[in-house]
Amino acid sequence: MADKQEEKLRQLAKELFLNEYPNPERKGCPDSQTIRAIAFGKLRGEQASEWRTHFATCSPCTREYAGFRQEFQRVKRLQALGAIAAAVVLAVMAGWLALGKFGFAGRIIAASQSRSERARGLSRGWGTKGGAA
């Protein structure tokens, strides 16, 4: 319950802040591209922190920055989903390889692992599996 109240207060503070520093002429504001670069973490260092200081006293910039931040988080979520999908594909492929190749051939590899030229050839299969990770 206390959490919800705190959340409400924070929301209120945020809304107050967003209207507390109106800057309709956008005096001294960076352009949208700069704000976007900062939100996406592409602009770092002193320059970025200078702009961040500006955001703290400029409602329009803060609003824009918050918007880009949301976009950034969406992109990151999509990328994470993509990574998960790729991992699933790899897992399926590894499973398929394990069934198709190592199910039977794996026993041969195990049997001849340390001696023949053939084992070296087959071990490339293992290498692919390991390298995928």
- Binding of residue 119 to Zn ion (CB under 5 A): no
* Residue whose CB is less far from Zn ion, 57 or 128: 57
Q: Which of 61, 64, 102, 122 binds Zn ion (CB under 5 A)?
A: 61
- Check if the beta carbon of residue 61 is closer than 8 Å to that of residue 29: yes
Region from 35-43, 50-58, 85-93, 101-109 binding Zn ion, contact rule CB under 5 A: 50-58
Phi then psi for residue 21, to 5 deg, are -120, 65
DSSP string, 29-91: PPPHHHHHHHHTT-S-HHHHHHHHHHHTT-HHHHHHHHHHHHHHHHHHHHHHHHHHHHHHHHH
- Binding of residue 35 to Zn ion (CB under 5 A): no
Region from 36-44, 51-59, 67-75, 80-88 binding Zn ion, contact rule CB under 5 A: 51-59
Q: Which of 37, 38, 58, 122 binds Zn ion (CB under 5 A)?
A: 58
Which residues lie near Zn ion (CB under 5 A)? 29, 58, 61
